[in-house]
Chain A
Amino acid sequence: MRNATGGSLLLILLCSLLLPACSTSDSPQPSVKRSATSIPVTGDSLVEGTIGEASTLIPILASDASSHAVAGQVYNGLVKYDKNLNITGDLAESYDISPDGLNITFHLRRGVKWHDGAPFTARDVLYTYRVTVDPKTPTAYAEDFKQVNNISAPDDHTVKVVYGIPFAPALASWGMNILPAHLLEGQDITKSPLARQPVGTGPYRFKEWVAGQKIVLEANSEYFEGRPYIDRYIYRIIPDTSTMYMELKAGAIDLMGLTPVQYARQTNNKSFTSLFNKYRFPSSSYLYMGYNLRHPLFGDKRIRQAMTAAINKDELIQGVLFGMGQKAHGPIVPGRWAYNPNVKDIAYNPQHASELLAQAGWKEKNNDGILVKDGKPFQFTILTNQGNQQRLMTAQIIQQRLRQVGIDVKIRVVEWAAFLKEFVNKGNFEVVLLAWSISQDPDMYDIWHSSKTNPGELNFIGYKNPEVDRLLVSGRNTFDIQKRKQAYFRIQDILAEEQPYTFLYVPDALPVVSARIRGVEPAPAGIGYNQIKWYVPKNEQVYVP
């Protein structure tokens, strides 16, 4: 099933369910600790359960998380995020940014080889750039590269990129997987066999893909950061989460993401915790209730503030996530450098909500206890997409809370394709309940800037604030982290005051890993960042070649 969580940036998708992000003060701990004294050895396989099958392993053509997860093991970008979510070199050994922020120079690693033995050079980087911006390539990732004015390769191991204006998200955009020019140049990329048999530079090389069943990767013994200890990385496609959970319990899967109820209630017995390690850290996403600001009902900010005051976010987290999450106060997830810890969110207070509603003119109640103004009852519909039980439950709890302050809420669940086309893109809704997946970079121009309110664009609630517009631009046009921080802190203050969304919660990512896999070290970036260092002690290896 398609879980439409929305904004899916390339970089965060590289780790699929091992989504990064976490606060440093609250370091996540595995539920079981085993002695870490043994020395890493090679061998065995790691089987990850995945709900969706990858569609293509040429990453610039893929738009789904499953494809990017597999491609992330096979390819590398020029840069990547390290365990503390700082950008660091990957295929680029290092990089320099000119003081004016207009030039980025990448110094490529020497001696890196493609899986077929050909050397990796600057030509591959130039090709990847050119094919991505080529109007004939059906890719979703050309946007960031459009800011590039000029790109050149002074020698085989240097790439110089020139920008027209300083553009902070530019550096991260070079985390884009680099494609092999020697196999693709001069060919139609949409018909390339690499889509099913990729050749990359990454820690794992492609071995086999059995449609609808599994994708098998093998350790790349010549990987530039060292050979991964685990011999094979296998993705098993299991579309149903209950089935996947049973496969996990039966030992046929080593790694999957748990649901909150599985984490909180079904996996605390000894028989489970002796075989598996559970991990928990905030995911890079938040759930929100977005008000259509073009609608007369929601034009008044007191109304929106009242709604937030009437909703008990703690109750949502307990009821829907079994406590596996935290309150969202704004568009930045707690723990990131751009997160403003002093943001003044509106606390749960039904009394306050009623006062705000009264100020906005909603004083009288009809016989059903619904607020009335000019003879019209206070009534609206929360729209959400089908196939997401958590969102539906959230909507139901909100419905009951708003009823208590005299607001009559209806819930409507619509299939995703129709949801987008008929409602969101046409601005044909009152309130939507949706989630954003967010990137490591705090740039959120596309979601909040007033120029992005056209049909099909992401500021579909129609939020327009000149100060926010200015701050969004200044936040993305400098590499100076202090200046960026200032801009994003102020944006969070404004949004907390204006409440164009009611920011609801940040769910936790809940991966579980078989206890025979050692070397898993949770960090702010989650657990996936050091996968090549994971290993299985010789006497516990299950899959022998």
Chain B
Amino acid sequence: MTRYLLKRILMLIPLMFGITLITFSVIHLAPGEPVEMQMAMNPKVGKEARERLTKFYGLDKPLHEQYFSWVGKLARLDLGRSFSSDGRPVADKIKERLPVTISLNVIALILEFGLAIPIGILAATRRDTWLDKGITVFVFVGFAVPTFWLALLLMYFFGVKLGWLPISGLHTLGSDSWGTLHYLWDMAKHLIMPVMVASFGSLAGLSRYMRSAMLNVISQDYITTARAKGLPERVVIYKHALRNALLPLITLLGFSIPGLIGGSVIFETIYAIPGMGQLFYQGVMSRDYPVVMGILVIGAFLTLLGNMIADICYAFADPRIRHGEV
């Protein structure tokens, strides 16, 4: 087992190297330059100012030198400084945005699974009834509706018309001076709409998964046996069937872990939430190489890590994998 683990960890090194190389090439292949984005179309900028900035960012050096200096810093866990005019360390920029994005995604994820599972069970056990059909229509509407449109409608209704919920942002102005509970309640109110909108769209996929897994299990012999024993339907479904039906969903949950640090540009922009999606989007639009590469590398690393953990879990479960027989 230790050997297997060691092998997996060693394999990460060339993979990470490949990732850095691809990340670096992709962003440098994109047309446009960071200096251009800051200086272009400004009559006050002369050639000298451009050269000054190019040199300041180290963009005058040959590409391979730029790459190795970046990778060298990366190896020391230094993501470098942003190419935007604030020139702040990329790590700081990511750090101040990560908590918001992760909390929002975790809440949305819990909500998605928390709703999709009962919806799926309900649809499976009441198969082909009006309830099943109604649920199908509802979740597919959620799937089909464009996020930004739904978000704007909700904002107008709850924010402007009824005035129940704040429209955008994370805090009400002046909330810093309130008590802790009041402050948290204010923040929760700000999160209601974005979380709702974020989870509504993914309900369809998950609940359909749950429904079909459940239907699959219900048709198994052991369920028939359980029913034949005279167990109440509730126990049959929730004790015997549910556990097995949940397995594919748990796999799906595993897949969504790396996605937790990524944010959606669209709803972050609409709800004015300063998350990772906006940071990445702005980074790409202004060709802020260090920011873009930093986020990509972290994302890739987390995906690798997630895969590795999953593999190790499989290895625990299946001796053939850890002995390298398959």
A interface with B by C-beta (< 8 Å): 1-2, 4-10, 45, 47, 55-56, 61-64, 67, 135-144, 146, 190-191, 195-196, 211-214, 234, 236-240, 242-243, 246-247, 249-250, 252, 415-418, 420-422, 424-425, 434, 439, 444, 446-447, 454, 456-458, 543
**B32/A190 in contact, CB under 8 A:** no
Query: B239 in the interface, Cβ–Cβ < 8 Å?
Result: no
B40 touches A420 (CB 8 A): yes
Interface residues of B in 37-96 (CB under 8 A from A): 37-50, 52-53, 56, 84-88, 96
In the assembled complex, the CB of A238 is this many whole angstroms from the nearest CB of chain B, namely 4
Q: Are B39 and A243 in contact (CB under 8 A)?
A: no
Q: Could you show 24 A-B contacts with beta carbons less than 8 Å apart? A: A4-B41, A7-B41, A63-B39, A136-B52, A140-B42, A143-B45, A211-B96, A212-B96, A213-B169, A213-B170, A213-B272, A214-B169, A236-B272, A238-B272, A243-B155, A243-B168, A246-B167, A252-B166, A415-B285, A421-B31, A421-B32, A434-B41, A447-B43, A456-B36
Choose among B49, B272, B285 the residue with the greatest number of A CB atoms under 10 Å from its CB.
B272
A138 nearest in chain B by CB position: B56
Among the 9-residue stretches B116-124, B156-164, B209-217, B240-248, the one with 4 or more Cβ atoms under 8 Å from chain A is B156-164
Q: Residue on B with the closest CB to A443?
A: B43
Please tell me which one of the listed residues A47, A142, A191, A418 contacts residue B49 in the complex, with CB atoms under 8 A apart: A142
Give the secondary structure class of B's interface: loop
With contact pairs A61-B85, A239-B269, A458-B43 given, residues A252 and B167 touching in the complex (Cβ less than 8 Å): yes
Residues of A within 8 A of B87 (CB): 56, 61, 190-191, 195
Whether B14 sits at the interface, judged by CB under 8 Å, is no
In the complex, A51→B173 CA distance in Å? 17
Taken together as a complex, chains A and B put the C-alpha atoms of A249 and B285 apart, in Å, by: 30
Which B residues lie within 8 Å of A422 (CB)?
Answer: 31-32
Once the chains are docked, how many angstroms separate the CA of A522 from the CA of B38?
Answer: 32
Assess the B85–A47 pair: CB atoms within 8 A.
Answer: no
Q: Is the CB of A63 within 8 A of B86?
A: no
Interface residue from A6, A146, A212 paired with B278 (Cβ < 8 Å): A212
The answer to the question of B186 belonging to the interface, with a C-beta cut-off of 8 Å to chain A, is no
Task: Please pick, from A5, A67, A250, the residue contacting B167 in the complex, using a CB distance under 8 A.
Answer: A250
**Additional pairs, 19, CB under 8 Å, beyond known A195-B86, A420-B36:** A1-B285, A4-B41, A7-B42, A9-B44, A56-B86, A63-B38, A67-B85, A136-B56, A138-B56, A144-B44, A212-B96, A212-B278, A236-B272, A240-B168, A242-B270, A246-B167, A418-B32, A434-B41, A456-B47
Of A6, A143, A239, A247, the residue contacting B41 (CB under 8 A) is A6
With both chains docked as a complex, state the minimum distance between the C-beta of B282 and any C-beta of chain A, in angstroms. 8
Q: How far is the CA of A418 from the CA of B87 in the complex (A)?
A: 23
Confirm or deny: B286 has a beta carbon within 8 angstroms of a beta carbon on chain A.
yes
B208 within 8 Å of A by Cβ? no
Q: Are A418 and B173 in contact (CB under 8 A)?
A: no
**Smallest distance from the beta carbon of B290 to chain A beta carbons, Å?**
14
**How many Å lie between the Cα of A236 and that of B169 in the bound state?**
9
CB proximity of B296 to chain A, nearest CB, Å: 17
3 residue pairs, one from A and one from B, having the closest CB atoms: A212-B274, A417-B32, A6-B41
**Which of A64, A137, A421 lies at the interface centre, i.e. has the most chain B CB atoms within 10 A of its CB?**
A421
Q: Cβ of B156 and Cβ of A7 under 8 Å apart?
A: no
Which of B52, B86, B173, B287 has a CB less than 8 Å from the CB of A45?
B173
Within the complex, the shortest CB–CB distance from A188 to chain B, in Å, comes to 10
Known: A140-B49, A246-B159, A418-B32. A55 touches B84 (CB 8 A): yes
Chain B residues whose C-beta falls within 8 Å of the C-beta of A5 in the assembled complex: 41
Interface pair A243/B271, CB less than 8 Å apart? yes
Assembly CA distance A2 to B56 (angstroms): 23
**A456 and B31 in contact (CB under 8 A), knowing A47-B173, A238-B169, A243-B272?**
no
Select from chain A the residue with minimum beta-carbon distance to B174: A543
A234 to B169, CA, bound (A): 14
Closest B residue to A169 by beta carbon equals B44
Q: Digit string of B254-275 for contact with A (CB within 8 Å is 1, else 0)?
A: 0000000000000001111111
Interfacial chain A residues near B96, Cβ < 8 Å: 211-212
| Bound-complex Cα distance A143 to B37 (A) | 18
A135 touches B86 (CB 8 A): no
Report whether A417 and B36 are in contact in the complex, using a CB–CB cutoff of 8 Å: yes
B9 within 8 A of A: no
Give chain A nearest CB distance to B258 CB in angstroms: 23
- Contact status B33-A239, CB under 8 Å: no
**Contact (Cβ within 8 A) B173 A140:** no
Q: With the chains together, A330 CA to B164 CA distance in Å? A: 50
A142 and B48: CB pair below 8 A?
yes
| Complex alpha-carbon distance, A195 and B86, angstroms | 7
Is residue B97 within 8 Å, beta carbon to beta carbon, of the partner chain? Answer: yes
A412 to chain B, nearest CB (A): 14
Nearest CB in chain B to that of A137: its residue: B52
Say if the beta carbon of B30 comes within 8 Å of chain A. Answer: yes
Pick from B49, B174, B285: contact of A2, CB below 8 A. Answer: B285
Complex Cα spacing A543 to B174, Å: 8
Which among B43, B44, B53, B287 is the interface contact of A138 at CB below 8 angstroms? Answer: B53
> What is the chain B residue whose CB lies nearest that of A446?
B43
Instruction: Determine if B152 is an interface residue (Cβ-Cβ < 8 Å).
Output: yes
A140 to B160, CA, bound (A): 42
| A62 neighbours in B (Cβ, 8 Å) | 85
**Known contacts A417-B30, A422-B31; A247/B168 CB under 8 A:** yes
Shortest Cβ distance from A215 into chain B, in angstroms? 12
**B173-A234 in contact (CB<8A):** yes
Task: Report chain A residues within 8 Å CB of B322.
Answer: none
Given A138-B52, A421-B32, are A246 and B85 also a contact pair (CB < 8 Å)? no
The docked-state distance in angstroms from the alpha carbon of A138 to that of B160 is: 44
* Interface: B189 (CB within 8 A): no
**For A190, what are the chain B residues with a Cβ–Cβ distance below 8 Å?**
56, 87
Given contacts A10-B44, A543-B173, contact A243 B274 (CB under 8 A): no
- Minimum CB–CB distance for B213 against chain A, Å: 38
A140 to B167, CA, bound (A): 37
Q: Which residues of A contact B45 (CB under 8 A)?
A: 140, 143
**Residue from A55, A63, A252, A418 within 8 A of B31 (CB atoms):** A418
A interface footprint on B135-152 (CB within 8 Å = 1, 0 otherwise): 000000000000000001
Q: Do the beta carbons of B44 and A417 come within 8 Å of each other?
A: no
| B47, B275, B285: the one within 8 Å of A416 (CB) | B285
Pairwise interchain contact A247-B43, C-beta atoms closer than 8 A: no
- Report B-chain residues with C-beta under 8 Å of the C-beta of A64: 85
Nearest chain B residue, comparing its CB with the CB of A216 = B173
B274 to chain A, nearest CB (A): 2
Quote the shortest CB–CB distance from A272 to chain B (angstroms): 11
* In-complex Cβ contact of B39 among A140, A239, A240, A415 (8 A): A140
| Contacting residues, chain A, for B88 (C-beta < 8 A) | 195
Closest chain-A Cβ to B295's Cβ sits at a distance in Å of: 15
Is the beta-carbon distance between B169 and A2 smaller than 8 angstroms? no
Residues of B within 8 A of A67 (CB): 85
